[in-house]
């Protein structure tokens, strides 16, 4: 791992949670519900179903918490910047109310689960703020606060904002929360596993068949189930055209050592550039988290510069010390602003999906999971209609920021900690040199649709510029739409 002034390229949550050791699925199994993906949506649904008397099996391609949930900020809130104004304008007040109530119920559900399952995850109740620094933004937060209060949410407008720099006012939601995202997921997994239900790790789903039973196949086994929930961020086996209904968006977080300024509450700016802020204590050490610098996935950007700006913001405006950790992730922004929860695709009978959590996945993912748990238990969920995966949605044609062939391949040996795409016998090979100079080579051809990957030196990953797939330096998929790894190749340089 390369260490720089922006800290280690690993999520604070992943780095401090310890590692789980659930077995890989080996053989065939039959349960009531199979869940693909051990993030917050999949595990929340699995536990709710288990507590309702169902048997469940969760299959996770990597380890619990190492996906998108482990790369969030850890905010648990129903205040999503200015979401209610936008949703009410677009869909009407009833839909905005449904979205808000589902998310607020998710916050309370998480609090109940933490307590009922005795999950030690640094869960804390805090106020959450969307703050304005300009007169223009001030008018927006006043409107948002009034609208949200009218929807029955715990919202007020305040000009008393406990940030260490001057702001004009904010929407304040009471009794929201923050937690250690991976420790929470590990607690969910502990509660799911056992008593006829299972968590399997390092068990990537490779095929999915609808029917009675529906079948999920992994490399070494299969799960037959009455129902399957696909909770993999970018849906595995996408039959619902979600790639045309969601924009995949990247965002970045830097965790710096907390300075001497106390910071209570969690925050997001309404003015641009958007900044998401909170303070956390992990194992006795205080950190300040600053998130932002988002952009469409696949856009070629200087990630190092983005991390630098977040670290500088924490230092200059929040009095933070040096950066310790940096991470990024991607999430789907549904183009009509509402997550997708329900049957996938419309013609399916037993395959359900959760996607498009719009970067507020801790609450939206929980809300979505509870909707599906109700559906599978034959209960009516009051918010299912708002999140319906088969609602009419305008489609986007996603602009491809670069040409499919990517940059020209070179011939140079990468420096330690760097990677480069080189051409050998007409084949493009992605070569990474670890900090000790040891080379690791994989095919540079993205397994989704064949674009050429590029090295992201800030995150130490191979990223695809076409639709945003990301791969570790050993070729393992970190984020889809690709679902299979980059194939190992001999190093074109041998091993210097």
Residue 387, CA distances (Å) to 238, 381, 384, 391 in order = 17, 11, 5, 8
CA angle 115, 70, 327 (to 5 degrees): 140
Is 469 among the residues that bind ligand FES (CB under 6 A)? yes
CB of 228 to ligand FES, least distance (A): 24
Identified binder of ligand FES from the candidate list 481, 483, 486, 491, rule CB under 6 A? 481
Identified binder of ligand FES from the candidate list 225, 258, 422, 466, rule CB under 6 A? 466
Identified binder of ligand FES from the candidate list 313, 467, 475, 478, rule CB under 6 A? 467
CA neighbours within 13 Å on the CB side: how many for 443? 14
By beta-carbon proximity to ligand FES, the closer residue of 42 and 406 is: 406
- For the four alpha carbons of 85, 90, 96 and 102, in that order, the dihedral sign comes to negative
Place of tokens 């304008």: 89
By beta-carbon proximity to ligand FES, the closer residue of 125 and 404 is: 404
Distance, in Å, from the CA atom of 34 to the CA atom of 56, rounded to the nearest integer, reads 6
Query: Is there a cis peptide before residue 213, judged by omega within 30 degrees of 0?
Result: yes
Is 486 among the residues that bind ligand FES (CB under 6 A)? no
CB of 403 to ligand FES, least distance (A): 12
H/E stretch holding 107 reads helix 93-116
10 Å Cβ neighbour count for 263? Answer: 22
By beta-carbon proximity to ligand FES, the closer residue of 137 and 482 is: 482
Stretch that binds ligand FES, among 243-251, 320-328, 383-391, 462-470 (CB under 6 A): 462-470
CB of 268 to ligand FES, least distance (A): 29
CA angle 289, 291, 294 (to 5 degrees): 165
CB of 303 to ligand FES, least distance (A): 17
By beta-carbon proximity to ligand FES, the closer residue of 157 and 462 is: 462
10 Å Cβ neighbour count for 488? Answer: 12
By beta-carbon proximity to ligand FES, the closer residue of 186 and 330 is: 330
Buried residues in 84-102 as b, exposed as e (16+ CB within 10 A) = bbebbeebeeebbbbbbbb
Identified binder of ligand FES from the candidate list 31, 311, 464, 486, rule CB under 6 A? 464
By beta-carbon proximity to ligand FES, the closer residue of 3 and 405 is: 405
Helices assigned H by DSSP within 283-381:
303-318, 361-376
Distance, in Å, from the CA atom of 39 to the CA atom of 386, rounded to the nearest integer, reads 22
CB of 240 to ligand FES, least distance (A): 17
CB of 439 to ligand FES, least distance (A): 23
Stretch that binds ligand FES, among 25-33, 164-172, 427-435, 465-473 (CB under 6 A): 465-473
Stretch that binds ligand FES, among 308-316, 361-369, 381-389, 464-472 (CB under 6 A): 464-472
By beta-carbon proximity to ligand FES, the closer residue of 420 and 469 is: 469
By beta-carbon proximity to ligand FES, the closer residue of 305 and 474 is: 474
CB of 450 to ligand FES, least distance (A): 6
Distance, in Å, from the CA atom of 361 to the CA atom of 408, rounded to the nearest integer, reads 37
Place of tokens 């802020």: 277
Written as six digits, the tokens of 231 are 């909770």
Is 132 among the residues that bind ligand FES (CB under 6 A)? no
* Site for ligand FES, residues 430 to 459, rule: CB under 6 A: 446, 448-451
By beta-carbon proximity to ligand FES, the closer residue of 179 and 462 is: 462
Q: Using alpha carbons, select from 155, 185, 177 the residue that is nearest to residue 76.
A: 177
Distance, in Å, from the CA atom of 214 to the CA atom of 33, rounded to the nearest integer, reads 9
Residue 469, CA distances (Å) to 28, 208, 292, 324, 486 in order = 30, 20, 20, 26, 11
CB of 66 to ligand FES, least distance (A): 20
Is 483 among the residues that bind ligand FES (CB under 6 A)? no
Residue ranges in contact with ligand FES by CB under 6 A: 446, 448-451, 464, 466-469, 481-482
């Amino acid at each position: 791992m390369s260490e720089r002034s922006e800290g280690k390229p690993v999520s604070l949550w992943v780095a401090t949670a310890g590692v789980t050791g659930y077995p890989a699925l080996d053989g065939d199994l039959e349960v009531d519900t199979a869940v693909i993906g051990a993030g917050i949506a999949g595990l929340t649904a699995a536990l709710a179903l288990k507590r309702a008397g169902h048997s469940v099996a969760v299959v996770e391609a990597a380890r619990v918490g190492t996906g998108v949930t482990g790369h969030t900020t850890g905010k648990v809130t129903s205040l999503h910047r200015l979401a209610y104004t936008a949703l009410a304008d677009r869909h009407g007040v009833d839909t905005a109310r449904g979205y808000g109530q589902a998310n607020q119920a998710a916050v309370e559900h998480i609090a109940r689960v933490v307590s009922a399952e005795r999950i030690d995850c640094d869960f804390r109740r805090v106020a959450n703020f969307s703050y304005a620094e300009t007169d223009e933004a001030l008018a927006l937060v006043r409107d948002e606060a009034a609208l949200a209060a009218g929807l029955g949410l715990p919202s007020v407008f305040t000009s008393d904002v406990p940030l260490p720099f001057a702001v004009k006012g904010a929407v304040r939601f009471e009794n929201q929360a923050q937690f250690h995202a991976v420790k929470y997921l590990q607690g969910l997994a502990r509660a799911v596993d056992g008593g006829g239900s299972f968590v399997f790790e390092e068990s990537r789903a490779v095929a999915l068949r609808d029917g009675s039973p529906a079948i999920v196949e992994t490399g070494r086994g299969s799960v037959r189930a009455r129902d399957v929930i696909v909770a993999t961020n970018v849906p595995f086996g996408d039959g619902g055209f979600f790639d045309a209904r969601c924009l995949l968006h990247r965002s970045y977080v830097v965790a710096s050592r907390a300075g001497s300024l106390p910071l209570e509450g969690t925050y997001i700016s309404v003015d641009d550039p958007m900044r998401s802020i909170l303070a956390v204590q992990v194992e006795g050490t205080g950190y300040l988290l600053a998130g932002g610098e988002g952009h469409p996935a696949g856009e070629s950007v200087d990630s190092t510069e983005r991390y630098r700006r977040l670290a500088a913001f924490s230092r200059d405006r929040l009095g933070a010390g040096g950066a310790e950790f940096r991470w990024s992730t991607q999430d789907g922004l549904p183009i009509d602003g509402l997550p997708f929860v329900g049957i996938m695709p419309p013609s399916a009978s037993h395959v359900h999906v959760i996607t498009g959590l719009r970067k507020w996945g801790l609450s939206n993912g929980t809300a979505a999971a509870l909707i599906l748990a109700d559906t599978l238990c034959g209960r009516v969920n009051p918010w299912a209609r708002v999140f319906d995966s088969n609602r009419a949605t305008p489609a986007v044609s996603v602009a491809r920021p670069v040409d499919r062939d990517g940059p020209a391949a070179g011939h140079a040996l990468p420096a330690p900690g760097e990677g480069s795409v080189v051409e050998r016998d007409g084949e493009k090979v992605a070569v990474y040199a670890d900090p000790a100079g040891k080379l690791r080579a994989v095919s540079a051809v993205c397994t989704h649709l064949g674009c050429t990957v590029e090295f992201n030196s800030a995150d130490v990953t191979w990223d695809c510029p076409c639709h945003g797939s990301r791969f570790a330096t050993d070729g393992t998929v970190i984020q889809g739409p690709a679902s299979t790894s980059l194939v190992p190749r001999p190093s074109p340089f041998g091993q210097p």
